Structure 1
Amino acid sequence: MNSVQLLRGPLRPVLMGLLMTVACVTSVRAEQGVALTPLDQVPEGVEVRGKQVAAYTWDDRQGKNLLVLAEQVGERDDDGTQSAFVYAAQYVLSGERPKRVWMLYDDVQHCEFDAGLRFDRAATRVTDLLGDGNTQATVGYSRACTSDVSPNEFKLIMHVGKSEKYRLRGLDRVGASWWDEDAGALRGMPLPTDCSVAAQQALVSQYKEQGTELPLPGCYGDEKDFAKAPDSYLAFMRQQWFALMQQQDADWSQSQAQPQAASEDDDTAP
C-alpha cells in the first residue's frame, strides 16, 4: 500500500471551477518562456536511457541546447517486485559531439506493488527569468510504489547551468477526491492554494481531519532550496507548481465524475 493515506470523512465537495489550463510546452509563447522545438530523434552522441518520451531544442547564450526525457517501467522480477526509472538530460549541441550539461535520474527499485515514474509533460519549461540570455530548464514527474489509488510523490526541478538545481517536492492530486454516491458529489481535501505549514494546518483544521501528515495532496514540503536563489526563481516555481496541481485536480475530478455520469445515462436509457 502507498505510504500516503487517503483522506476520508465528511468533507465538502471539491470545487471544479476556476481551474487554470496548463498549455503544452511545444506551443510556449515568448512571454511565457523560451520557444522550444520538438524533436523525434536526438543527434548521435546524445545518451537516452529508457524509452524516449520527448526531446526539445532551443537557443540561448550557450548556443543550441537539447533536452531529452525518457522513462522506463520494468517487467516483474522472479520475486514479483517491479522497478522503474525516469531520465532527463540537457546537452549543448556544439563542436564535434554534444556536450552534456546535467543529467537527472530517479528510480524505484524492487517495489513489491506497482512501480511508477512518469514525467508530467506540462511541467517542462525553459525560461530566461533573469533576462540575461542564460536559460533555466524545468521538469516535473511523479514517483510511486503503491497498491492503491492515492497521491504520488511529485518533484518539480529547475536546472540552471551545470551545477545549480532547485526543487519543490510534495504530493500530486491523483486519488485526492472520490465520488460519494450518497451525496451525489465529489468529496476530498480541496486543492491548497498556499503550501506554507500554517496554511496547510489551517486547511486540515477547517476540515477536521486529525493526524493528517503534511504535505497535503497538491502541496510541496518546503522552499529551502531557494534560500539563496534569485526571487524570480521561486516565484516561477510556485506559479508552475500550482498550475500543474490545478490541472491534475481538474483531470482527476473529471475522471471520477465521468463514470458516474455514464452510469446514470445507462440507468435512464429506454
Structure 2
Amino acid sequence: MNSVQLLRSQLRPALMGLLMTMACVTCVHADDGVALTHIDQVPEGVEVPGKQVAAYTWDDRQGKNLLVLAEQVSEREDDGTQSAFVYAAQYLLTGDHPKRVWMLHDDVQHCEFDASLRFDQSATKVTDLLRDGNSQVTVGYSRTCTSDVSPNEFKLIMRVGKSGKYRLRGLDRVGASWWDEDAGALRGMPLPTDCSVEAQQKLVSQYKEQGTELPLPGCYGDEKDFAKAPGDYLVFMRRHWFALMQKQDADWSQSLAQPQEAAEDVESAP
C-alpha cells in the first residue's frame, strides 16, 4: 500500500472523524491523518481511462477529495509500433455525483521500440503549503520510447485547484550508472545537487564529458512554471525532486551491485 503525505500545520478533528467513517475494504490511515483507499472503492461516477493503479482520498476546505492514477499500454500495431498512456484525475466527492476538478493526460504515441509511461507512486503528495486549507496535488511519472536501458524523461507536476499547474521536467536516474568490471565499482555521472545551468555545466566539465546535453540524469531543465507561483511551491518541488532522484539513484545502484554480490558468493562457495 502506497502512502500520500498531507503536509499541514493543523488538521481539524472533525475531518479526521469523517475520514475514519469512510467505508472501504482496505484503508490505511497515515500518521498525518490522510486516509488512503483501495482502488476497488472508487465510487461510481469517477471515470478515468486505463487501468487504475492507485487512488487516494483526503479532506480540505473544499470537501472530500479523490485522486486516481491510471496507466495504459496498447498492443503493438501492424507496423510494430506501440503507444502508452498515463492519466491522473482529482474529484470532489461532495453532493450526489463526483465532480471532476482536473484531469492530467500524457502519452507516447507510435513508438518503434518499447513505449513506457509509469507513475512513481512515491512522488504522489498532497500538501497545504500555504496553510489556508487548500491543497496542492503532486504526481510524478517517467516517460520513454527506447530500446536500451537509459535515463527516462521524468515529470513532476503540481496541480492546484482547477487550473493551477506547475511542472519540473528532466531526466531520471535509471541507467545513469553502470558496473565497471575492471575497476570493480560503479561508474557514471553522479547525482547533481543543483540543477542550475551553471552547476550542471560545472559537473560536466569536472567529469570531462564535454558535449553532454542538459539536463543531466537526475536534473530538470528549468523552473519557468514557478515564475509567478508562491515561493513555497518551488521550495517544495525542488526538495521533492531531489529526494525522488536520490531514491532512484540508490535503487538503481543497488540493482547493479546485487548481481555482482551474488556472483562473488557463488565463486566463494566451497
TM-score of the superposition, structure 1-length normalised? 0.89
The match for 2:47 is 47
The match for 1:35 is 34
The CA distance in 2 between the partners of 1:142 and 1:245, in whole Å, is 12
- Alignment root-mean-square deviation, CA: 1.6
Write the letter of the residue equivalent to 1:38. Answer: T
Offset of residue 26 of structure 1: 4.4
Offset of residue 263 of structure 1: 1.0
The CA distance in 2 between the partners of 1:189 and 1:70, in whole Å, is 33
Q: Which residues in structure 2 correspond to 1:1-270 (within 5 Å)?
A: 24-26=2-4, 35-41=34-40, 42-270=42-270
CA offset digits 1:196-236 (Å, max 9, x no partner)? 00000000000010100000000000000000000000000
Offset of residue 29 of structure 1: 7.1
The CA distance in 1 between the partners of 2:87 and 2:211, in whole Å, is 35
The CA distance in 1 between the partners of 2:150 and 2:136, in whole Å, is 31
Larger relative contact order (Cα-Cα within 8 Å, sequence gap ≥ 6): 1
Offset of residue 73 of structure 1: 1.3
Write the letter of the residue equivalent to 1:39. Answer: H
Whether the aligned pair in 2 keeps the contact of 1:26 and 1:38 (CA below 8 Å) is: no
Write the letter of the residue equivalent to 2:3. Answer: V
Whether the aligned pair in 2 keeps the contact of 1:34 and 1:128 (CA below 8 Å) is: no
Whether the aligned pair in 1 keeps the contact of 2:4 and 2:125 (CA below 8 Å) is: no
Offset of residue 114 of structure 1: 0.2
The CA distance in 2 between the partners of 1:183 and 1:29, in whole Å, is 44
Offset of residue 269 of structure 1: 1.4
Q: Which moved more, 1:259-268 or 1:166-175?
A: 259-268
SS in 2 for 1:56: strand
The CA distance in 2 between the partners of 1:30 and 1:133, in whole Å, is 8
The CA distance in 1 between the partners of 2:175 and 2:227, in whole Å, is 32
SS in 1 for 2:39: coil
Whether the aligned pair in 1 keeps the contact of 2:7 and 2:126 (CA below 8 Å) is: no
The CA distance in 2 between the partners of 1:176 and 1:147, in whole Å, is 15
Whether the aligned pair in 1 keeps the contact of 2:75 and 2:82 (CA below 8 Å) is: yes
SS in 1 for 2:202: helix
Write the letter of the residue equivalent to 1:125. Answer: K
Gaps of 5+ in 2: 10-30
Offset of residue 48 of structure 1: 2.0
